[in-house]
Amino acid sequence: RVQPRHRANYRHRGVAMRIVIAEDSALLRAGIERILTDAGYDVDSAGDGEAALERIEDRKPDLVVLDLMMPGLDGWGVLEHVRTMEAPPPVVLVSGMHEVLPPGHLNPYVTGYVCKPFDISHLIKTCAGAIATQALVPASGERREARKTFLVETTLLSETGIPLGKG
């Protein structure tokens, strides 16, 4: 069970935030489901890509936690479908590979990564952060608002902490 210090109130207007998990390993799927349920989310899960698509269409989740390597329709195939949705949910990729880069056209739909094996608090924080992040590019490919430019003053430091440059 998630310790009470990890438990939060992941609700919007009194309703628990919905997460769909797609993971082919029954043991890992049950573990992720338990962790996120104990953290206060409304969780549904699927053991393969086809079942995940059904759950995503039926449940309209606030987040999808998606394993990449599944038999049949894999995580990339599920992500291809998610990108065609009118209001695509954010997606957190779960993978045993530490350097996973989605193809360029899918990159805007991935809002987080969790590498197996993972820390419980990291999973919860990644999911919370992904839900809090609005999708920047809707399925139409147009931005909801104009791109913003931020100027940040930065100091480049050496390994010993000596300033090397400012910008």
Per-residue pLDDT of 78-121, as tens digits, reads 999 998 998 899 999 998 876 666 667 777 778 888 888 888 99
pTM higher than the cut 0.75: no
* In the block, residue with structure tokens 């910008």: 167
Residues 6+ apart with CB under 8 A from 136: 108, 143, 144
Q: What does the pLDDT read at residue 124?
A: 94
- Flag whether pLDDT at 74 surpasses 70: yes
State the pLDDT at residue 51: 96
Residue 110's beta-bridge partner residues?
91
Q: Is the pLDDT of residue 151 over 50?
A: yes
For residues 108 and 129, the model is more confident at 129
pLDDT at 166 over 70: no
Q: Give the model confidence (pLDDT) of 6-29 as tens digits.
A: 444 455 545 689 999 999 999 999
Cα separation, 92 vs 71, whole angstroms:
19
Task: Please name the helix (run of DSSP H) or strand (run of DSSP E) that holds residue 128, with its range, or none.
Answer: helix 120-132
CA distance 82 to 63: 11
- The candidate with the shortest Cα–Cα distance to 67, out of 106, 100, 108, 107, is 100
Q: Burial-class residue 67 by CB neighbours within 10 Å (0-12, 13-18, 19+).
A: buried
Number of C-alpha atoms within 13 angstroms, CB side, residue 145?
Answer: 4
Structural contact between residues 77 and 50, judged by C-beta atoms closer than 8 angstroms = no
The Cα 36–Cα 28 span in angstroms is: 12
* Residue 10: per-residue pLDDT: 54
Q: What is the pLDDT of residue 108?
A: 74
pLDDT on residue 163:
75
* Model pLDDT, residue 152: 57
* Neighbour tally for 103: CB within 10 Å: 9
